[in-house]
Structure 1
Amino acid sequence: MRLIALMQGEHRVTSDADEVISTVLGSCIAACLWDARAGIGGMNHFLLPDGPAHDGASLRYGLHAMELLINALLRQGAERSALRAKLFGGAHLQPHLPDIGHRNLTFAQEFLRREGIPCIGGSVGGDRGRRIRFWPVDGRAQQFLLPPTAVQEGPAPAAPRSGEVVLF
């Protein structure tokens, strides 16, 4: 197994069964999409649902991140009609600040609905961060909930910790 760490504003697509994509999320969203028949999948990690069109860091925004992920999957042989999704993240970590996690989640769910891509699982909302591992070839995902004060979004540590949950 090769663990590929995904940072904010990045995406990764692969058909390599030995690759596992991992990231750490708070209010951000990671969309995990795959086509099991083609044996290809990928993940993105976006920070905000939308932003200015002229922003050079547009990979941080949901619309651009979702389009890049889907287009990369299709270029590498995935069939749009066979795509399935799992969403992770969207936590509300700072009660005294606006709920960006909810905005991110609403955007991602609506985007998938408009695109006709079924969201068949994941873990969203709440007040805790998550470390996610995603097996893009078959769509398996694993989540580790983080202590409330431990979220620092970015790449995940390689070693699993207690409290592991496997999502199918």
Structure 2
Amino acid sequence: MSALLRHAWDARTGQGLAPRYFDRQLGCAVIKVMPGEYEVGDAELTLVTLLGSCVSACIRDPVAGVGGMNHFMLPEDQREGGGAGNARYGAYAMEVLINELLKRGGRRERLEAKVFGGANVIASMSVSAVGDRNARFVLDYLQRESIAVAARDLGGQSARKLAYFIGSGRVLVRHLPVAATAADLAVERMYGQSLACAAPAGEVELFD
């Protein structure tokens, strides 16, 4: 079984959340990464997520055979502290994901990143361009850290469903109409917002 680190916590129970389920379309067991969460595991692990204006960075060290994914909602918290200790914010989500990979034998100079999301899917959010801000943040962050971006699919107005296979680095991306994903995105936003009180914790292919 794949070794796994889970870094999202249920504030009510204090327990880590790492449910696996079998995805019939992908033909393998997967773990879903929700807003404000990140996962790190070995080459056997497959991660999935659904993105609107949020961004996910998929980062791995192909030599060490470790990788992971985050899912952040905003670049940083504008309040004092800047979102420290909360993976809802990119500044922390990126730092903690990279640090966990290094702890598990990854080398910074070997890391490769693939980044996704940052769409402006909700009219009321387009004025503040949350998706654009998230997309700019993740690219600027990776450039500062000298981590190569092997692939990207950012911006636009469509939601995205991702599947990330750590072993191969392969990413499957499905673009989805907003109308078909509004309910799911609303649930995920509510989930991510609920974590504010929680304890801190290849190629791109299109598929149908």
Shared fold, TM over 0.5: yes
CA pair 165-44 structure 1, distance change in 2 beyond 3 A: same
- Greater Cα offset, 55-64 or 133-142: 55-64
> In the alignment, residue 165 of structure 1 is paired with which amino acid?
L
The CA distance in 2 between the partners of 1:29 and 1:92, in whole Å, is 11
Higher helix share: 2
Equivalent in the alignment of 2:206 = 165
The answer on 1:92 being equivalent to 2:120 is yes
Equivalent in the alignment of 1:134 = 164
The CA distance in 2 between the partners of 1:72 and 1:63, in whole Å, is 15
Preserved CA contact (<8 Å) 1:50 1:61:
yes
Q: Choose 1 or 2 for highest CA Rg.
A: 2
**1:12-161 correspondence runs (5 A):** 12-17=39-44, 19-51=45-77, 52=79, 53=81, 58-97=86-125, 98-149=128-179, 150-151=181-182, 152-153=184-185, 154=188
Preserved CA contact (<8 Å) 1:35 1:137:
no
- Greater Cα offset, 52-61 or 66-75: 52-61
How far has the Cα of 1:95 moved from its partner?
Answer: 3.6
Task: Give the structure, 1 or 2, with the largest relative contact order (CA under 8 Å, sep 6 or more).
Answer: 1
Deviating above 4 A after TM superposition, structure 1's stretches of 4 or more consecutive aligned residues are 54-57
Deviations 1:31-74 (A, max 9, x none): 00011111111000000001031758721100100011001100
The CA distance in 2 between the partners of 1:11 and 1:27, in whole Å, is 17
> In the alignment, residue 13 of structure 1 is paired with which amino acid?
V
Preserved CA contact (<8 Å) 2:83 2:91:
no
Query: SS where residue 178 of structure 2 aligns?
Result: coil
Query: SS where residue 112 of structure 1 aligns?
Result: helix
Q: CA RMSD in A?
A: 1.7
The CA distance in 2 between the partners of 1:37 and 1:56, in whole Å, is 30
Preserved CA contact (<8 Å) 2:118 2:155:
yes
Query: SS where residue 134 of structure 1 aligns?
Result: strand
Q: Structure 1: give runs of 5+ residues left out of the alignment.
A: 155-163
Deviations 1:82-104 (A, max 9, x none): 00000000001124532100000
The CA distance in 1 between the partners of 2:156 and 2:64, in whole Å, is 33
Query: SS where residue 7 of structure 1 aligns?
Result: coil
TM-score when normalising by structure 2: 0.70
The CA distance in 1 between the partners of 2:206 and 2:75, in whole Å, is 27
The CA distance in 2 between the partners of 1:56 and 1:70, in whole Å, is 15
Deviations 1:80-127 (A, max 9, x none): 100000000000112453210000011100000000001110211000
Query: SS where residue 38 of structure 1 aligns?
Result: coil
